[in-house]
Amino acid sequence: MESGILTKGDIDSCMERLKSFFPSFLDIANDEIKSYDVSGEVLQYYSYAIQYNLQGGKMLRGTLVAATVKTLAGDNMTETLWLQTLTLAWCVELLQTSFLVADDMMDQSTTRRSNACWYLVPTIGIKNAINDTMFLYTLINRIIINNLKDHPNLLEIIDTFGRVSMTTILGQHMDTYDSQDKSLLDSGEVATKLFNRICKNKTSYYTFFLPVKFGMILSGMDSSNLCYSRVESISVLLGLLFQAQDDFLDCYGNPEHCGKDGTDIQTRKCSWLLAKALSIGSQDQIRRIKENIGKCDEDKVQIVKDVFDELEMQSLFAQYSGELTEKIEDEINQLDHRGIKSILQWSLHIITKRSK
């Protein structure tokens, strides 16, 4: 199968197709809900929950699914394949949404995608929001099974979804539980190792590897192709850069532009900034971090930010991201498959140009 090379025009057209398909995807989701013995009020509630939480994002993951299939399938891109692709692309976006709804409660965030977090919406609350995360996640499996049941690689799609979901959930545990270990603040080396592990498990697999692998599976690429393992290793590096950027923007980004408030200092996340500060800070600087991190008091948060500024974190991050970008570029350039190479090059381009 001859693949093409991903162009900006392809990206734009894939994103437009994805946006245009949303009403159809909502109908698919509503049909799933209606297949159960529920009232009209329940259907209305969950239809609104999907619309409220699923829209307004950057659609990176969904676009990556569509762009991968379009690039690899080439002239074999039929309307049936488009339907399967767009359905699976929105399922990946729905997975992201279920994680975000849960993550906002864990972090006690207030805004997401420039709106109030779902658990803070009047009449919703934490009890409903917890159940809603389970609904959103479970809905994905039902949609995949019922809408891709004729695909020859359905079992591999379901298995990939389950494995990546488990990896992400374990990564989230590292982020919320392991980060709270007070001994973490005693060693920059330990903090850096945990940060790298969190990035790999929590971010890399479902942000980059899952969309590209889904695209490879849908387009018919043989599972024995060596590209799968290369895509996996490069995805880990992309996730490392993506999460480090997220951590940087949590502290230095504009909340209005990013669409969410920063909470990493208040929740004592093992962020790139914290790991770096613990690695290079003086005894006094580390002491000030230990005494003030993990508290919601604005003055204490500012003290931690002041330490970051003293260490010139903005300059250090520019250096770190630049070096990591070069490493990723080298890894991508070693790929022989021109289609996969162009897909990963676009992924890297999107990361390096992001500001939120």
Distance CA 314, CA 127 (A): 39
Q: Which residue has the tokens 């350039």?
A: 333
Residues of the chain with pLDDT under 70: 1-3, 256-261, 355-356
Which one-letter DSSP state was computed for residue 181? Answer: -
Q: Which two tokens stand for residue 12?
A: 């734009």
- Please answer whether residues 52 and 8 qualify as being in contact, where contact means their C-beta atoms are separated by less than 8 angstroms: no
- Sorted by where each begins, the domain ranges of the chain are 8-353
Reported as a single tens digit per residue, the pLDDT across 50-76 is: 999 999 999 999 999 999 999 999 888
Q: Which residue has the tokens 């996730």?
A: 239
110 in helix, strand or coil?
coil
Look at residue 355 in the predicted model and tell me its pLDDT: 66
Distance CA 178, CA 199 (A): 13
Look at residue 177 in the predicted model and tell me its pLDDT: 87
Identify which of 53, 74, 70 has the alpha carbon closest to the alpha carbon of residue 18.
Answer: 70
Which one-letter DSSP state was computed for residue 218? Answer: H
Burial 289-320 (b: 16+ CB within 10 A, else e): beebbbbeeeebbebbbebbeebebeebbeeb
Q: Which residue has the tokens 């991201």?
A: 321
Distance CA 201, CA 165 (A): 10
A 10 A CB-CB count for 96 gives: 23
A 10 A CB-CB count for 355 gives: 9
- Please answer whether residues 102 and 132 qualify as being in contact, where contact means their C-beta atoms are separated by less than 8 angstroms: no
Please provide residue 92's backbone torsions phi and psi, each rounded to the nearest 5 degrees.
Answer: -65, -40
163: Cα separation from own chain's centroid? 15
Measured CA to CA in angstroms, residue 82 lies from 6, 145, 218, 219, 288 at distances of: 16, 17, 10, 10, 55
HEC profile of 49-75: HHHHHHCCCCCHHHHHHHHHHHHHHHH
Please provide residue 116's backbone torsions phi and psi, each rounded to the nearest 5 degrees.
Answer: -65, 140
Which one-letter DSSP state was computed for residue 153? Answer: T
Look at residue 184 in the predicted model and tell me its pLDDT: 83
Reported as a single tens digit per residue, the pLDDT across 312-325 is: 999 999 999 999 99
Residue type, 173: H
Say yes or no: domain 8-353 is CATH 1.10.600.10: yes
Look at residue 332 in the predicted model and tell me its pLDDT: 97
A 10 A CB-CB count for 166 gives: 12
Look at residue 185 in the predicted model and tell me its pLDDT: 86
- Please answer whether residues 91 and 81 qualify as being in contact, where contact means their C-beta atoms are separated by less than 8 angstroms: no
Total count of residues recorded for the chain = 356
Residue 67: left (phi > 0), alpha (psi -120 to 50), or beta?
A: alpha
338 in helix, strand or coil?
helix
Q: Which two tokens stand for residue 159?
A: 């298995």
Distance CA 326, CA 340 (A): 18
Look at residue 258 in the predicted model and tell me its pLDDT: 54
